[in-house]
Every structure is written in structure tokens, then in C-alpha cells.
């Protein structure tokens, strides 16, 4: 089974307007809401790619109810832990540029966290655990490291998509897969990484630490996938970006789906990047047909080892 964990889900509120004037009343030209949070997005994209998963994490209040209702209508299994307080609202502003205001999580108690750990104590070999998104301030920052370590002991595969301290700390627990974007990769090593080639030495360090798959995305400038034996570069398809919220999550979902389908590594990498681009080129999330069509536009170059 695939389990996604979203410690900090959200109701994503998207607003579109020509221009934002700070200090003035701005009125949206269109708006809509959607369930959000990185793990939840991975579950939603997986479903569109033809894979069932169970979404875990903490939800609360009217916003939490909304998140749960929508994803259950999409026929995604959920086993959320209900907390006191409302699931946050994240505002996504699409104007001349995309801007985001992400809210704060409700309080997660020690008891809430224990419940999650109990759920994850049932993980077994062959299961996939996706830990994605920010860590609420009331949860220890080592949480991903702890959960990853325990899941790896149970022989489950662990996919991580996070940033900052939670990401830095989880590396020692040797997750199966990580997907930093190039800024997040730079943050891990306190350097600035702008071009794919510049990322290679840092990616190799992560692989040497025992992470099986390191996938670094560079938005529209391609992506790198490294394993202990291979270093691959994928171009990204050309298209009009309509929404980049969830594009990174779609890359993770695409790679999980491809692994479940036992695709060869290069095809899995193509499928993952195509999933990200299919979401970026849509107003909603990627659809499988669209992903397959976009794989035709992706070429994988072999950068060899040590290049
Ligand atoms: N301009 C673009 N053209 C084509 N594909 C894109 C573009 N921008 C993003 N993507 C797709 O989205 C993926 C993830 O993009 P990015 O590197 O920005 O990651 P991220 O920061 O994790 O994403 P997110 O915006 O979801 O936080 C890319 O690998 C690519 O597949
Ligand atoms: O605040 P976090 O947990 O880092 O990110 C949360 C979030 O921005 O990520 C998703 C897109 O990747 C959105 O659905 C959601 O609002």
C-alpha cells in the first residue's frame, strides 16, 4: 500500500487578479478552493495516474472537513487524525507573478502524534510511505527522521519532499527517495545552485550518504536523477505554465507510480518529470493521458558518473 502523510494539510484558496496593490482593497477576477498539502496532493495525483493510496495526517475544523470530503469524493482512502483547531488556509495569488501565503498549523499534541506513530507501526515490506510538506511548529523538527527510521526498519520505502531543517535531519535516516528543488538542494549545503551542472557534486554527496534516488528539479530548466550507478538529466517539455502549485508533488507522485509499475529507471524519470509538467500546464492536476503525451517530449541524457 502507498501511504501519504501530510502533517500540515491546507485548504488552498486560489485567487486570480491582474495586479495586487498593497495597502488597497484588491478584488479577485476569479477564485476557487482545493484541498492542499503536499502529501494530499501526492495522493490526488496518484489517483489520477491510476494508483490508490491512503492519506494520513492531521486535520481539524471546518477546513479539515472540507479537505476530507473532497478527497473522499475522489475515492481516495483517508485515515486522518482529528485535531482541535482548524486546518490552515493557504492563499495562492496568481497575478503578474505567483505569490503564496501559507498559514500556520493548528496545535498538534503529543497524543495526536502518538496516534500517527501507531498507524505507521503497521508498515511492512513493500509499502511506500510518502512524507511531504512542512512540519507544524508543535511537532519536533526531527519527526521525519524518526518516522523514516522506523519505516526503513520495517523495510518500507520512504519518499521525502520537504525543505529546511526537517529535510536536513531526515537525510541520516537514509530515505529511499528525496526530491529537493534546486533552491532546497542549495539550502542543504548552504550554497546557491542555479544551473543543473552546478548541482552534480552536491547530488553525489547525497547519494554517497545512502539515499537511493535523488531527484532535483529545476522548474522549466530540467531535472537530474542520481542513483549510486547513474546520473541522468531530463529536459522539461515546453508549454504555458498555468499553475505551478502541486507541480513538485506531481513529480513525486509520478515517480512513485512509475516504481509501482516497475518501469525501467529512465522511463520512470521521464514519467515523473512529465507528471510535474502536466500539472504545471493545467489549471488542476496532471491527467495520465497528458503525462504519457508529454513523455514523448522528454529526452534523458546520460551524464555518467563523476561528470
Ligand atoms: N516552466 C516549466 N515548464 C515545464 N515544466 C515545469 C515548469 N515549471 C515546473 N515544471 C514542472 O514541475 C516540476 C517541479 O518544478 P519545481 O522545480 O519548481 O519544483 P517545486 O519547487 O518542488 O515545485 P512547486 O512549484 O510545486 O513547489 C518540474 O520538474 C517540471 O516537471
Ligand atoms: O507549507 P508547506 O507544507 O511547505 O506547503 C504547503 C503547500 O504550499 O504545498 C502544496 C503545493 O506543493 C500546496 O497544496 C500547499 O498549500
Count the Cβ atoms, other than its own, within 10 Å of residue 233. Answer: 20
Q: Cα of 305 to ligand 2 centre, how many Å?
A: 33
> Nearest 5°: phi and psi at 44?
-70, -40
Task: Give the predicted TM-score (pTM) of the model.
Answer: 0.97
Element (H, E) at 290: helix 288-295
For helices 265-280 and 288-295, what crossing angle results, to 10°? 120
Element (H, E) at 71: helix 61-73
Per-residue pLDDT of the chain (307 residues; tens, 9 = 90+): 999 999 999 999 999 999 999 999 999 999 999 999 999 999 999 999 999 999 999 999 999 999 999 999 999 999 999 999 999 999 999 998 889 999 999 999 999 999 999 999 999 999 999 999 999 999 999 999 999 999 999 999 999 999 999 999 999 999 999 999 999 999 999 999 999 999 999 999 999 999 999 999 999 999 999 999 999 999 999 999 998 899 999 999 999 999 999 999 999 999 999 999 999 999 999 999 999 999 999 999 999 864 4
CB of 64 within 8 A of CB of 9? yes
For 18, residues 6+ apart whose C-beta sits below 8 A from its C-beta are: 29, 95, 96
What interface predicted TM-score (ipTM) does this complex get?
A: 0.98
Provide the annotated active-site residues: 249
Atom of ligand 1 nearest to the CA of 182: 17
Q: Cα of 82 to ligand 1 centre, how many Å?
A: 32
Atom of ligand 1 nearest to the CA of 244: 25
CB of 45 within 8 A of CB of 67? no
Amino acid at each position: 500500500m502507498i501511504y501519504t502523510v501530510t502533517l500540515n494539510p491546507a485548504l488552498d484558496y486560489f485567487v486570480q487578479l491582474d495586479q495586487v496593490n498593497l495597502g488597497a482593497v484588491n478584488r479577485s477576477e476569479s477564485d476557487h478552493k482545493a484541498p492542499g498539502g503536499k502529501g494530499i496532493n501526492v495522493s490526488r495525483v496518484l489517483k489520477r495516474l491510476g494508483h490508490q493510496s491512503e492519506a494520513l495526517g492531521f486535520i481539524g475544523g471546518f477546513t479539515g472537513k472540507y479537505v476530507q470530503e473532497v478527497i473522499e469524493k475522489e475515492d481516495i482512502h483517508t485515515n486522518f487524525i482529528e485535531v482541535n483547531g482548524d486546518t490552515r488556509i493557504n492563499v495562492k495569488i496568481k497575478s503578474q507573478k505567483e505569490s503564496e501565503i501559507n498559514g500556520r498549523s493548528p496545535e498538534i499534541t503529543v497524543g495526536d502524534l502518538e496516534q500517527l506513530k501507531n498507524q505507521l507501526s503497521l508498515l511492512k515490506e513493500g509499502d511506500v510511505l510518502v512524507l511531504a510538506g512542512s512540519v507544524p511548529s508543535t511537532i519536533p523538527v526531527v519527526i521525519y527522521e524518526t518516522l523514516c527510521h522506523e519505516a526503513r526498519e520495517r523495510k518500507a520505502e520512504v519518499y521525502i519532499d520537504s525543505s529546511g531543517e526537517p529535510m536536513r535531519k531526515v537525510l541520516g535516516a537514509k530515505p529511499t527517495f528525496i526530491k529537493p528543488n534546486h533552491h532546497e538542494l542549495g539550502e542543504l549545503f548552504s550554497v546557491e545552485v542555479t544551473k543543473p551542472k552546478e548541482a552534480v557534486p552536491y547530488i553525489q554527496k547525497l547519494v554517497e550518504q545512502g539515499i537511493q534516488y535523488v531527484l532535483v528539479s529545476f522548474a522549466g530548466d530540467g531535472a537530474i536523477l542520481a542513483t549510486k550507478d547513474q546520473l541522468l538529466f531530463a529536459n522539461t517539455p515546453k508549454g504555458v505554465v498555468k499553475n505551478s502549485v502541486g507541480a513538485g508533488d506531481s513529480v513525486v507522485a509520478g515517480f512513485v507510480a512509475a516504481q509501482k509499475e516497475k518501469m525501467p529507471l529512465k522511463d520512470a524519470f521521464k514519467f515523473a518529470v512529465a507528471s510535474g509538467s502536466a500539472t504545471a500546464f493545467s489549471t488542476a492536476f496532471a491527467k495520465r493521458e497528458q503525462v504519457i503525451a508529454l513523455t514523448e517530449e522528454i529526452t534523458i541524457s546520460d551524464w555518467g558518473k563523476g561528470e
